[in-house]
Amino acid sequence: MIEILKAGLYTTIQDKGRTGYRALGVPVSGAMDTVSAAMANKLLNNDTEAAVLEFTMMGPKLQFKVPTVISICGAAFQPKINGKSIDLNKAISVAKKDILTLGHPEFGSYGYLAVSGGFEAQEVLGSRSFYKNITKNSNLEKGAILKLQNPSSEKILRNASFAIDSSHFSDNTIEVFPGPELHLLSKKFQKEILASTLKIGSQSNRMAYVMEGLEAFSAKEIITAPVQPGTVQLTPSGKCVVLMRDAQTTGGYARIFQLTNHAICKLAQKRAGDKVQVKVKKYYNDN
């Protein structure tokens, strides 16, 4: 078991997400940066479905009640065990009563803590990912006790560590496919949008990242249609949002782009004020 001593900012349990219920209007959820979350699990030889702890900008403080092995990936948080710095992207043994602090990230936004065997949170509609009105909690609070699935203090991959791909955090190019309504914009608009630099707005969260910089453009509303994580919507007043993991399942704004999953992960690690540029990718050469 692990006790949350300080909750940090929007600390949640996440796994690969909730599939099969989108037709009922239930979002997919799941880790914002699935690449980093998967890396944390891989370091411990966990199942890819294992639930991890996700936190952002201000990490939680927690205490281990059992010895186990952990790994911390994603944003460059500054983890310490009992006040002593430990490495990111590495399998690390912890002892009973050890206190882990995460601090603030030097770069990036979302961090992931995996434990050997994964966290055991209640599975609701096939997933442990927190989501308001679906799971009991929408984020973890001080005093919460987290159960572990199969705690093991053995390092399965001996001294496992990964070198991180720094471009995952530093690269400002976001790869997108053309969205269903992109062709409805004039050729001039399309060209100008692609040349625009987009700034991430401060109201960004697990549901959507607000993008500033397209205020001069406009797209007609559409008859409500399916949307998914990575869908880029443009409103009649030039407001632009990229839907993220907790996105609703349908929407009424023009869908101008669709991010690749890798691009969603990269964007998730950006902060308010960061600038990105979209690069359109073709589905297939003959398309």
Partner 1 sequence: MKQPTVTYFGEHALLLEWKPAIDEHTLSEVLKIKHHLANTCKDEIVEMVSAFSSIAVYVNKNVALQQFAETIKKELKKSSKATSITRRKVQIPVCYDVKYATDLEEVAEKNKLSVAEVIKLHMKNPYKVYFLGFLPGFPYLGGLDAQIHTPRKETPREKIEAGSVAIGGSQTGIYTTDSPGGWNIIGKSPLAFFSIKKDSPALLQAGDIIQFKQISKDEYRKIEVEVAADVYEIEEEVIYD
- Give the footprint of partner 1 on this chain (CB under 8 A): 19-26, 124-125, 133-134, 177, 180, 222-226, 228, 230-231, 248-250, 258-261, 283-284, 287
Pairing of β 110-115 and β 68-74? antiparallel
Residue 142 and residue 2 in contact, taking contact as beta carbons nearer than 8 Å: no
Q: Which is nearer to partner 1, 17 or 117 (CB)?
A: 17
The distance of closest approach from Cβ of residue 132 to partner 1 in the complex, given in angstroms and rounded to an integer, is: 8
Of the candidates 53, 163, 165, 59, which has an alpha carbon nearest to the alpha carbon of residue 109? 59
CA distance 50 to 16: 8
Q: Which is nearer to partner 1, 24 or 163 (CB)?
A: 24
The distance of closest approach from Cβ of residue 163 to partner 1 in the complex, given in angstroms and rounded to an integer, is: 26
Q: How far is CA 276 from CA 98, 136, 185, 206, 211, in A?
A: 40, 36, 21, 18, 9
Query: Which H or E run includes 5?
Result: strand 2-6
Q: Which is nearer to partner 1, 26 or 208 (CB)?
A: 26
The distance of closest approach from Cβ of residue 65 to partner 1 in the complex, given in angstroms and rounded to an integer, is: 29
Q: Which is nearer to partner 1, 102 or 254 (CB)?
A: 254
DSSP-based three-state secondary structure for 104: coil
The distance of closest approach from Cβ of residue 55 to partner 1 in the complex, given in angstroms and rounded to an integer, is: 25
The distance of closest approach from Cβ of residue 246 to partner 1 in the complex, given in angstroms and rounded to an integer, is: 12
Query: Which H or E run includes 133?
Result: none
Residue 251 and residue 224 in contact, taking contact as beta carbons nearer than 8 Å: yes
The distance of closest approach from Cβ of residue 42 to partner 1 in the complex, given in angstroms and rounded to an integer, is: 17
Residue type at position 157: L
Q: Which is nearer to partner 1, 166 or 224 (CB)?
A: 224
The distance of closest approach from Cβ of residue 196 to partner 1 in the complex, given in angstroms and rounded to an integer, is: 22
Q: Which is nearer to partner 1, 105 or 251 (CB)?
A: 251
Q: Is 110 exposed, middle or buried (0-12, 13-18, 19+ CB in 10 A)?
A: buried
Q: Which residues contact 38 (CB under 8 A, 6 or more apart)?
A: 48
Q: Which is nearer to partner 1, 2 or 247 (CB)?
A: 247
